[in-house]
Structure 1
């Protein structure tokens, strides 16, 4: 299974990257995920046709499972992630991709953000977003067991969905 983590944090090698990778490994422990840290593209995300951004978009579109991870900024996902998601055609750009929205924040105030704000965009560009989004505390996610509980609950479902989402 091809697994990718897309990280929308404007800080390189962030806690968001760590959390997204842990979620991907929790859902697919036998697979080493490809990590796309969007901050590395810089101004390439602002236009169309940047070769590195185009290749990253191809990688995501060809994946069976993609964890989209973002910190919570102004009660929603980052503009960096929004710029990347604009690379995909509406309705079909992520057809066949099982997408898992993950967001980190400082407290429970925005706990519904992954499902209310990020998931609809992923569905709009064609992804299958059947699993619930995951909101994590940016301070405690490595110790609080939330990723482990989520992974244990949804691992088999993710495998079944991902194996059935790619057209033959």
Structure 2
């Protein structure tokens, strides 16, 4: 796959999932704003080889292709359900398989979902440090949403505004990176 792709990755462990729906929505909006194609994966897409994998090479071919797509993406929208105040173990395991340089400089929008406001800092205290380790360009605006932030699947104005702010930041960065790449290719 080309790197002219926005990739969403959701750490949900089941389907259907509000986390995946949220990641899909943000990923689609970012793709539309940047004019890039988009795709969304979740842990379920990686299949049964994930649990026993100690490296990317231990994954089955379709799971390796997903990991390669994540690594080569122009930007990522990452989302995780909140489980006991953090992301799930299998979500972390996916990123444990990556080389620390695989996400260096990559723009990332962080999202998380949870049952209530008490978990709202999961994006700041759990997800942001994880992707800082990879030296990714984690955007300043992250989005945490609980079930109360949606009515019939429609996000509240507060969530809509935060998503808009994150999308503006990401779009600007994706366009700037594309301009730099175009200049470098000349």
TM-score bracket for this pair, using the shorter chain length: 0.7 to 0.9
Bigger Cα displacement from structure 2, 27-36 vs 130-139: 27-36
What is the match of residue 163 of structure 1? Answer: 175
Residue deviations 1:83-128 (CA, integer Å, cap 9, x gap): 11112112x1112321111110111101111111011111212311
Bigger Cα displacement from structure 2, 58-67 vs 48-57: 48-57
The unaligned stretches of length 5 or more in structure 2 are 182-186
Secondary structure in 2 matching 1:94: coil
TM-score, L = length of structure 1: 0.87
Residue deviations 1:42-98 (CA, integer Å, cap 9, x gap): 3311313212222111111111221111110010011121111112112x1112321
What is the match of residue 184 of structure 2? Answer: none
What is the match of residue 156 of structure 2? Answer: 144
1:27 and 2:37 are equivalent in the alignment = no
Q: Rg larger in 1 or in 2?
A: 2
Distance 1:117 1:45 in 2: 21
More helix by share: 2
Task: Kindly report structure 1 stretches of 4+ aligned residues shifted beyond 4 Å.
Answer: none
The unaligned stretches of length 5 or more in structure 1 are none
Secondary structure in 2 matching 1:123: helix
Higher RCO structure (Cα 8 Å, ≥6 apart): 1
Distance 1:64 1:147 in 2: 24
Aligned pairs, how many? Answer: 167
TM-score, L = length of structure 2: 0.80
Distance 1:129 1:72 in 2: 19
Secondary structure in 2 matching 1:69: strand
The match for 1:103 among 112, 122, 125 is 112
How far is the alpha carbon of 1:155 from its aligned partner? Answer: 2.7
